[in-house]
Amino acid sequence: MSAVRILSRLLIIGGTIGVLLAVRSLRAPDLNDSGRAHKPEPAGDLYGAVPIGGTLIGGKLHYVELDLEQWDLRVLRAESIGAQVADAETYARKTGARIVINGGFFDEQLKPLGLVVTDNKVNNPIHPANWGVFLVCDSGPRIVHQRDYRAGPERYALQSGPRLVVKGEVTSLKPGKAFRSAVGITSHDRVVLAATENTALSLAEFAEILARPQSQGGLGCVDALNLDGGPSTQFFINLDNVRVSVPGGWGIPTALAAFPRGNKGR
């Protein structure tokens, strides 16, 4: 093929790519099921990923760090969107949430195991297990042992376990590897949501990453609570500059979800 013909084809291909990119840049705004455009998330470095060695397919730990003055963090129930269980992406699509992670454990009837509080209403009672409770209060987020929980002004609460990090220290944890997810709190009262992808960790390995200072490649949590892992592990992140979907093996009856302040959702 002559140099002229090669150059002509390159120009045609380049022009086509340019048109496609232009069309893509003009695409309609991302809408949720309510038909409203997603509210832009607050500025800042929200998302990160920690590479996890020992896998051939690129295992990593995805996480977000949320300032609750800018983000509204809620406990969601599948019942509120007309289902018994739902996956993380469906929760996001149905409610307008920008970030969704799986919640706590559940029984064979797909009913939550442990305390669930939404909008100041107790939807499920406390479970007498050696677990913790994650609380969203007007005064800030907290994680307490279930025996220390007292019903109060919390707007949202979710029981799960075990507690992985308490006052900056990794707790004594059982062995065994699985997919993992957790909610944590930093020394600045920011909330960390984290889940593994394509890698299984022991609870101790997971907790060590959560507790390790950010300056050393960790997530800097002073308190952290294990969420339901294994096939329940799922994480959906839909931000302006990043989209992550870690699908679970089945639907879940509860989830933690983050909405930009001012977005009422459902």
Instruction: Give residue 244's pLDDT.
Output: 97
Instruction: Give residue 36's pLDDT.
Output: 39
Instruction: Give residue 4's pLDDT.
Output: 37
Q: Enumerate long-range contacts of 136-144, CB under 8 Å, 24 or more apart.
A: 136/68, 136/73, 136/74, 136/75, 140/68, 140/189, 141/68, 141/73, 141/185, 141/189, 141/191, 142/185, 142/223, 143/183, 143/184, 143/185, 143/223, 143/224, 143/225
> What are the pLDDT digits (tens) for 19-60?
333 322 222 333 344 333 444 444 456 999 999 976 556 799
Instruction: Give residue 2's pLDDT.
Output: 39
Instruction: Give residue 35's pLDDT.
Output: 38
> What are the pLDDT digits (tens) for 224-236?
999 999 999 999 9
Instruction: Give residue 58's pLDDT.
Output: 74
Per-residue pLDDT for the chain (266 aa), expressed as one digit of tens each?
Answer: 434 343 343 333 344 333 333 322 222 333 344 333 444 444 456 999 999 976 556 799 999 999 999 999 999 999 999 999 999 999 999 999 999 999 999 999 999 999 999 999 999 999 999 999 999 999 999 999 999 999 888 999 999 999 999 999 999 999 999 999 999 999 999 999 999 999 999 999 999 999 999 999 999 999 999 999 999 999 999 999 999 999 999 999 999 999 999 755 55
Please report, for the chain, the start and end positions of each structural domain, with discontinuous segments joined by +: 1-30, 36-260
Instruction: Give residue 14's pLDDT.
Output: 42
